[in-house]
Amino acid sequence: MDALHTAGVRFAQALQAGPPWLEKFWISVTSLADPKCIFTVCFPLAYFLDRKVGVSVLWIGLVSEWLNVVLKWFLFGERPFWWVYESGLASKEQVVLRQFPVSCETGPGDPSGHCMITGAALWPLVTALTALASARSRSLVLKLTPFVAYALLLLAVGLSRVFILAHFPHQVVSGILAGAALGWSLQAHIPATRGFFVAAALALLLGTLTLHSLVITTGIDIDW
Which residues are catalytic, by number? 114, 167
**Residue 222 to residue 81: CA distance in whole angstroms:** 19
DSSP H helical ranges for the chain: 2-16, 21-32, 36-37, 43-49, 51-75, 80-86, 89-92, 113-121, 123-136, 140-163, 169-186, 194-217
DSSP state of 178: H
Question: Which H helix or E strand runs over 20?
Answer: none
Burial (0-12, 13-18, 19+ Cβ within 10 Å), 39: middle
